[in-house]
A and B are shown apart, each in its own frame.
Chain A
Amino acid sequence: MFRSPFVRRGRFGRSSWTEMEQLQREMNRLFSSAFGESRVQTPVRYPAMNVWTSEESVVVTAELPGVKPEDVDISVVNDTLTVSGSRQPDELQEGERYHRRERNFGRFSRTFQLPFQVDSDQVEAILEKGVLHVSLPRAESDKPRKIAIQHA
């Protein structure tokens, strides 16, 4: 099934660069099929977010365990949503020491372009059980309108 990419295909064959690219694609495909495709892409930014859409509004959720509501800033400008904030580390007292540290701390910021303009006055955000839930209704002016055709 695999053709060796290193076999020369004649003088006017594909360049070795193309061959390398093909090899890379094949390897990616092989790995992704071997380990099972997931609908989740590897997050490159924190926090990981899910975006839910309907005709009328968008819901954005993110897992922010241990983040206080006052430490989160949400801003909406036209169709751009920015969620930023910081996660505060536990302050250890004198003489206390860590055995294990796996949790991340620091500032974070993420910006999303939404599929439509939202009514920024109607945006609601809840931070409950460490899960942020932002609901962004579509702006009235942006909703599709049915145009009645008049008789001549």
Chain B
Amino acid sequence: MMAPRGRILATRFGLNPNSSSLGVDVTFLLVGAAALSIFTPVIGALLRLKRREPAGE
């Protein structure tokens, strides 16, 4: 049996330089869910292409 593919739950884009709060990029709020649906598989593919380096090591 094939292992389940799994899913991306959420994506936070960009870096937050502001040292007083956590900003969120609102670009996708403007372009909508459809655009994000197209972009999400690309993010997934990029993740799988990269070799893993555990955070905290």
Q: Do A and B come from the same complex?
A: no
A interface with B by C-beta (< 8 Å): none
B interface with A by C-beta (< 8 Å): none
